[in-house]
Each structure stands twice: as structure tokens, then as C-alpha cells.
Amino acid sequence: MIKKVLIANRGEIARRIIRTCKQLGIQTVAVYSDADQNALFKKDADEAYHIGPSQVQKSYLQLDKIMEVAEISNVDAIHPGYGFLSESPTFAERCREENIIFIGPEADILRLMGSKIEARKAMIKAGVPVIPGTDHAVDSARDAVAIAEQIGYPVMLKASAGGGGIGMEVVHSAAELQKAFENNSKRAETFFGDGAMFLEKHLQNSRHIEVQVLADHHGNTVHLFERECSIQRRNQKVLEEAPSPAISEELRVNLGKTAVKAAEAIHYTNAGTIEFLVDEKEHFYFLEMNTRIQVEHPITEEITGIDIVKEQINIANNQVLPFQQDEIQRNGHAIEVRIYAEDPIRFFPSPGTITRLELPKGEGVRNECAVTSGDKVTPFYDPMVAKLVVYGENRSEAIDKLKETLHQFKVEGIKTNIPMLQEIITYEAFIEGDTQTSFLRKYYQPTTGGN
């Protein structure tokens, strides 16, 4: 049984994991960089170890150093959170070699689904619909143009490895594609060590819907319904809600069944997310699988009452899932917004010292926050400093609660995207649930300064 866990991460997700571990009576070990010397997650943990300078490549991506801390602190397991090494098959393999439980899927699954090209092939084999596109790496810009002419513009150029919107770009012509291919391939090589690119038909006016799955080591796989994640900027999610406000019950059932089918086809274990694009006629297509916990997992927890981190740990402990599909109930509506330290007009990061921070409180309000008053937001990591999650008996109540809590969320000393969030949730299209992936490009026109 797991008695001590190292969290190979930082910020709000490290705090989130520590919270559940404490509830389970599990000791926690944090690792931190120079920039996180005074971070809240470090203080939350039972033990904390310094692993290097502020730069991520010299600290949170230092596999050897993290494993050294795991040995020194005598942990039973490592939870990777999201980002950093969370989807690294090398990390999972190293844990197995050193008899430490990796709280996530097996290394071969991480390797399979970490390649978007190989993931497409696996889903095609499983009978899961995929977006029309290439099933192999495209070697050159010239080849990409030839393929795009067959698929038809616009096309989505994608890096095979990685995520977070890096190496992705919609292109509308051969000239755009030639330029975008070289730039994105180089960027993917820099970030992921793999510059392989492929093409998919770009589905205009589509929705980004994802389904949370859990699978144990005893052949049981369930889904926890869907999340609507269509409001995005530069392919990065900004606002998510559960359930989706605009899909039919028939599609909801089909998405859930298909997500379970996809997970079972690759013998998946632990928590994962199957992501789909849904067109205007409710045709859906596999997009990718995230083989880790998602940033937006709290909204699923709010509508199901299931602690996903707890289930991750239980699955890693080789326990059987405590519920079957028909026992999982969906209640109410939850919305999450990501609070970024950035200029809401130019979208530049806004590092600095937080001179004042007041978080909203009340029934149905959940703050997942990495900082407090007096903390410094550094330029070394993702600028997300908090997530605000609200729950209501229905979507209208959740939206009203979100409007109120965003007004109560006070941050001074840095700029944030709160003004943008306050604005977009007043749009008629949002209130009606008309939120395709083009939503921000179509509706949001920055007119106000940061708070």
C-alpha cells in the first residue's frame, strides 16, 4: 500500500494532490526549484527537497534529481501531476526499475499515446472515428503542401509529440503552410525533442469535447461524462464546463461509450481523457488522449462527487474501482476558469509581486490557487496562478455564481486575464452555449486594461 508519495510537480496541482494525500493519511514529499523556495505547495508537504535552479530544464525536468530525492525520502510512489514529466515513458520506466509506483499508465501506453500519429493509428484500429488526415509523419513542407491540396484547406498542422498547443497552427493556403511547417517543426523539436509533423482537416465551427475515463488493473473501465472545452486561445483552454451545454443526450451517451471503447482497446489504466472534436451535425472525431490528470478535472469532480486524484492513487494501489458505470450520477453544472498572470489585451505574461490577493468564498465556490499575497510570479513557468471553479444546480445558476465570484476575485501587483473572463461570460453566445473553438477569435475584442 502507498504510504508516502513524491509529487513531481509544482503550483496548484501539487497542492491539489497533497490535499487528497492528507485525507488518505499518505505522507507527501515536494520538490522545488530556486523560484519556488517560498511556494505554498512546498509548505503544504510533509517534506520538501530542492532540485535545482529556476529554469524548468534544470529542475522539474531533471529526472535523475527527482529519482534521487525519491530514494532519499523513501517514497512508495510518485504522482507526476500534469505537464513536465507526467507523460514521459522514460519516467514511468525508471520508476518501475526502481520499484517505485508511477501513479499513471504504463510506459508503453504513454509512448503510444504520446505520439499523435501512433495514437491515430491505434484509434483507427479500434474503430474510433478520426479526423481525415495523415497517418504518418510529413517529411517536408513540399510534401505537406501536396497532402493539403488533397485534403482541402484549411488544414491543421500539428506536432506529433507534446501538447499545450505547441506546434499547432491552422493554415489556409500553400504559402502559409510552407512557412508554418518549418516554424512549427523547429518549435516542436525545441520543446519536445521531436520535430515530426502531420496534417488534419481543420473542422471549422467545431466543439472541443473531452471525456474523463478511469480504468483499474482488473478490467474495469468507466467514464465520468464529458467536459466542454471549446473556449480556447492559441489552442489553450481558457474556460471549461461540465456537462456540455449544447450536445444531445444521444451524443453524450455515444461519446462516453466511445471513450471507454478507446481506453479498453489500448488496455489503459489509471485516469485519462479522450478528447474529441464535434462538428455542427454532431459527428465526432478522436483528437488525442491525455494520459494524465487534466487541469480541468475539478469540474468533473463537482458534478460526480468523485475525487479523481483519490481514484488515481487507489488504482495505483491495485484496488478495484468502487463503482460501476450505472452507479455514476451526474448532478448540476460546474464551470472552471483559468486565472493567468497576463495582460488581458496583449496576452503577454505579467510577472511580478502579488501585493494583494483576495479569493472569493461561498457555497459552490472552489479555489485551486498556487499563490498568496506577497508571492512573486516568475517568468519561468506557465503563467496560470489559480483556477476558479463554481458549481450550481443548473448552468444559469453556475454562470451567475461565476459572474459574482470573478468580481470578488481581487489581485493587485500583477495583471491578470480576469477582465477578459468577466467580459466573455456576458456574451449572448456564451450564455446560449454557442461556444465553438473559434469563440474568442469571433467575439472577444480586448477593450479594457488589466486589473
DSSP string over 204-226:
TT-EEEEEEEEE-TTS-EEEEEE
- 140 and 60 share a domain? no
109 within some domain: no
Q: Find the mean pLDDT for residues 270-290.
A: 96
Judge residue 202's burial from the number of C-beta atoms within 10 Å of its C-beta, 0-12 exposed, 13-18 middle, 19 or more buried.
Answer: buried
On whether both 10 and 97 belong to a single domain, the answer is yes
Report if residue 118 sits inside a domain: no
**pLDDT for 192:** 83
Question: Is it the case that residue 235 has pLDDT exceeding 90?
Answer: no
Q: Is residue 69 part of a domain?
A: yes
- Please tell me the predicted confidence (pLDDT) of residue 162: 73
C-alpha–C-alpha distance, residues 27 and 422, integer Å: 39
pLDDT tier, 242 (very low <50, low <70, confident <90, very high otherwise): very high
Average pLDDT, the chain: 95
One domain, residues 398 and 339: yes
- The percent of the chain in helix, strand and coil, each rounded to the nearest 5, is 35, 25, 40
Q: Are strands 376-377 and 352-353 parallel, antiparallel or unpaired?
A: antiparallel
Of 186, 204, 202, the C-alpha closest to 194 is 186
> Do 420 and 280 share a domain, yes or no?
yes
| Domains in the chain, number | 3
pLDDT tens-place string over residues 19-78: 999 999 999 999 999 999 999 999 999 999 999 999 999 999 999 999 999 999 999 999
- If you average pLDDT over residues 189-193, what whole number do you get? 84
Residue 15 scores a pLDDT above 50: yes
Residues 169 and 282 in one domain: no
Q: What pLDDT does 282 receive?
A: 95
CA proximity to 247, closest of 208, 274, 303: 208
- Asked if the model's pLDDT at residue 260 lies above 90, the reply is yes
CB 252 within 8 Å of CB 226: yes
Q: Which tens digits make up the pLDDT trace of 306-363?
A: 999 999 999 999 999 999 999 999 999 999 999 999 988 888 899 999 999 999 999 9
Q: The domain containing residue 9 runs over which residues?
A: 4-103
Beta strands in 22-178 (DSSP E): 27-33, 47-52, 77-79, 101-102, 155-159, 169-171
Q: Peptide bond preceding 154: is omega within 30 degrees of 0, i.e. cis?
A: yes
Residues 420-442, mean pLDDT to the nearest whole number: 94
**CATH code for position 46:** 3.40.50.20
Known catalytic residues are 292
Evaluate whether residue 167 is within a structural domain.
Answer: yes
For residue 325, which amino acid is it?
Q
Mean pLDDT, residues 407-424 taken together: 96
Residue 321 falls inside a structural domain: yes
Q: Return d(Cα 247, Cα 347) in angstroms, integer.
A: 31
- pLDDT interval class at 6 (50, 70, 90): very high
C-alpha 127: how far from its chain's center?
A: 25
Assess whether 13 and 39 both reside in one domain. Answer: yes
Q: Is the pLDDT of residue 448 over 90?
A: no
d(CA 404, CA 318): 43
Assess whether 195 and 279 both reside in one domain: no
**Assigned domain for 112 exists:** no
